[in-house]
Structure 1
């Protein structure tokens, strides 16, 4: 395939790092020392470690934004260490903190940048820009001609991801891409990335200093020490339940059972329906719906069917013909790709005992309540308790066997 031809539906590629090293002049110790790692096609691997441990340097060597001092990089078996780094970067998507959008370009121009550079025809680029905006949950008609300064931080990050994916690269590198946004927006961007990965199956290498983010996003996590030495490279569940040493335990921290809520998604538990009305419904219709629902509360949706307010009976009595000041604004929602920990935090923040679940454009799809979430917590805690009992039983059996062996002579006879 020529460089100007788009790779339709390109999925992930394998990545091999072999003895990858980076030395800077004047520093006796390497910034990255002899890293060897294999990343499977289509998996999300998270680099997590303390500040200055070399995780971002390691990431940037994959697309040679930083040139390695030694070692090899193979993508789908091809050694890319010696090929033109500019051509390499066009085949590897790259998303960074604060999006990195060009301020003088519109959203469409930013997304079209790489496809234009590699010679895609104008019609194909135009279609791809619309496809990418829709993919990251932004209305093409609304955002196509906007400039980055006209976007919120979360919207900028979505455009940054769309730009990184525009030329359909098999590999996506992400360097703390959600680190500069507020916690609620960050949760939603993480959910969006999980949803995108379910659709696209790219190979994603993602750098973060936040272990909870690593658990939520990663198929596997590489916990890195100084100079990117690998302390443990395993699944989130394995690291939570069996950290390799005290250094890794320090990252896991307290409350490992609760952290395991990051391994379960809202889609894994029961999502129930709830009585809803819209802002366009007459007040009498809303009264009747609340009266017949058998609940003390009803969810008001805006004109795009997004959760807007929780309305109680008393709120409607005080409405006096207008909903403008009635009810309590919905402060947070979750998607089906959100973790149960996100959902639990949202329920506790909202004080309603439930959280609304939304689709890719923010539309209402149901609710998850506190009882469902607490049952999940209890199941995880019980699983941990049984696992601990089993481990203790195995340890006691091993000690008993060792004691028995020590009491017998070399020939199997009991010592005198």
Structure 2
């Protein structure tokens, strides 16, 4: 596996599965049957398929939590099929559903576990723990000494990802890592993973049963049938616009154009600025700012510059010198890595035609409005319509060519 100058892996590595097979004793058929696949360095590949198709088994054979019955595994060109499995796992990050943190260890101890096992010096481990907590959006000073039971589900998953990245492995395996949290937290964790990948460029293999999650996160998606037979292995856009067969179409489901909203990020559309004020601003100044803004509302930010409340003119009239009861709490926000589908859902949930965009620590960065999102939907639908027309035209030309060839063949036969 590739290593950096200080002795640990720095970026992603290729993964090659060559006729990988798993047969359990007493079973008449293999659970995984001759899977061959090449995963590029630095890409996110999603395994998606029906329950029991073997996607988690295939994932766990990569780090040999499940030993293959046959076939080979190469990581960064190195055959790891016969390598000491314990040493192999220390070079591969692994994150699972419900985080899998050790309850008797603090957050810092959980993250430090693998670096400690591989012999990193204490100062380097301490620095790495703080770096990773910051990277996954948790304040090191606040979370360093906490125990898993003192964290929310979303916070536990962030620590789980930090622990998986602790020894800076080139490969990260994720088995339904966000499956046990609520939908809003899940969206934010997906955004966080996408943001992290922009910085880290790991090779990530990710198992999910949720096709929308696969579209949102994956560079490529492997749609798996029974025994992990590959039905289609392609980009999300290619699978949405050109599913290989009825089995894949069943995963895509209805509304492929709307699902393509998961392929476009908030950062790809126009983010508008919005008039903002802070809790420290005098009430009269807030009122003057709103009156001079030309809008009917203003966004109140908290002391850490995070969206806090939407204030309308009537709210300020009723405030009577205090903002405590004025305005409507910001119920949802999106990051620049969120998809347009996330943004559309947030706008519709809020029922006010806009959603605030935030940075990695929740700080305000702008607003995306309904008009921008609707225009994007129209563009996708129009693109789909043009693609369908082009495909229809190609079919007509093909049929015409076939008819012409058949007629020429018939004429040739008659002359003969």
TM range (shorter): over 0.9
Structure 1 contact 3–118 (Cα < 8 Å) conserved = no
State the match for 2:231 in structure 1: 231
After superposition, what is the alpha-carbon deviation per residue over 1:104-157, rounded to whole angstroms, capped at 9, x for unaligned?
111111111100010000000000001001111111111111111111111111
1:6-405 alignment to 2 at 5 Å?
7=7, 10-405=10-405
Cα-Cα RMSD: 1.8
The offset of 1:7, in angstroms, is 3.9
Task: Report the TM-score, using the length of structure 1 for normalisation.
Answer: 0.97
Structure 1 contact 232–244 (Cα < 8 Å) conserved = yes
Structure 2 contact 96–175 (Cα < 8 Å) conserved = yes
The offset of 1:6, in angstroms, is 5.2
The offset of 1:411, in angstroms, is 7.4
Structure 1's consecutive aligned runs of 4 or more residues displaced over 2 angstroms after TM superposition are 1-9, 409-416
Q: Distance in 2 between matches of 1:255 and 1:198?
A: 29
Aligned residue for 2:36, secondary structure, equals strand
After superposition, what is the alpha-carbon deviation per residue over 1:333-387, rounded to whole angstroms, capped at 9, x for unaligned?
0000000111111100111101100000000000000000111100000000001
The offset of 1:65, in angstroms, is 0.6
Q: Distance in 1 between matches of 2:184 and 2:7?
A: 35
After superposition, what is the alpha-carbon deviation per residue over 1:205-260, rounded to whole angstroms, capped at 9, x for unaligned?
00000000000000100000011110000000100000000000000000000001
Give the direction of change, closer, same or farther, for the CA distance of 1:60–1:288 in structure 2 (3 Å limit): same
Q: Distance in 2 between matches of 1:157 and 1:15?
A: 25
Could you tell me which runs of 5 or more consecutive residues in structure 2 were left unpaired when the two chains were aligned: none
Structure 2 contact 231–248 (Cα < 8 Å) conserved = yes
Aligned residue for 1:10, secondary structure, equals coil
Aligned residue for 1:408, secondary structure, equals helix
Q: How many residues align?
A: 416
Give the direction of change, closer, same or farther, for the CA distance of 1:345–1:4 in structure 2 (3 Å limit): closer
Q: Distance in 1 between matches of 2:167 and 2:231?
A: 35
